[in-house]
Every structure is written in structure tokens, then in C-alpha cells.
Amino acid sequence: MSRKKTRELIVQFLFQMEARQEEYTGLLEDFIEENSMQAEDRAFFAQNIAGTVKNLNDIDRLIETKLKNWTLDRISWTDLAVLRNALYEILYRDDIPVKVSINEAVDLAKKYSDAESGVFVNGILGSIVREHNLQ
């Protein structure tokens, strides 16, 4: 499995977590059991999930600063999951280039959401990266 596919699973998990409004630890074991991953992919998956959940309030506040006439609860759960994972990678993972995280997020938004989601996700992430000089 590649990191690209693992990111898809991360977004699916974050979507489920939002939809079910459950603690991630309860969902995590079942999700990993249902989605076979090699050890390296499982480690990447678990790190991103744990890191996103740990920093969720800060990540969500950052997203909210870029919403104009919108609130966080108006964003589709898919776009929200994509943004949350991408921002976790951009802010907290030094081993992943910012451009890679943005490109992967845009691709996931285009694949799993509607036609404008790629532009929306790119705009939010690009604005945050520029504002905080994260390149």
C-alpha cells in the first residue's frame, strides 16, 4: 500500500469519526481490523489519526479563520476530514513536504467530494501556508 492509499483510509476514518461522534480509540481497532495494512502503513495511519485528534481544536480553529461567511459545521464532512489530515501533516510532520500534503488533499477532495471541493481545499490550505509562512 502507498501513502496515497493510506491517506484515503485516514480521510475515511476521520469522516466516520465525525459522522458517529464517537471517540476515535473505540473506532480505531475495528477500522484497522477491517482495512488490512502493512506495518509501515498502519504506523503512518495511526500517527496521523492520533496527531489529528490530539490537535483537533487547534486545527479546527485555524480552518475557521479562513472561512468567510461560513462556519465549520457547514463544511462537508469529507472536506473537513481532508483539511484536518492535511493540516496535521503541514503543521506537525516535518517528514512530509508541504506541497505533497496539499496536492494529496486536493486530489482526495476531488475524488471523494463535489466539483468545487478541490478548489476550496486548495484555497484554505494555501491561505494558511502563506499566512504562517509554512513553505
pLDDT per residue as tens digits for the range 11-41? 999 999 999 887 778 788 889 889 989 999 9
Mean per-residue pLDDT over the chain, rounded: 93
Distance CA 7, CA 44 (A): 9
What total of structural domains would you count in the chain?
1
Nearest to 85 by CA among 61, 58, 119, 52: 52
| Owning domain of residue 54 | 3-131
Confidence of residue 132 (pLDDT cuts 50, 70, 90): confident
On whether the pTM is more than 0.75, the answer is yes
- Return the CATH number at 87: 1.10.940.10
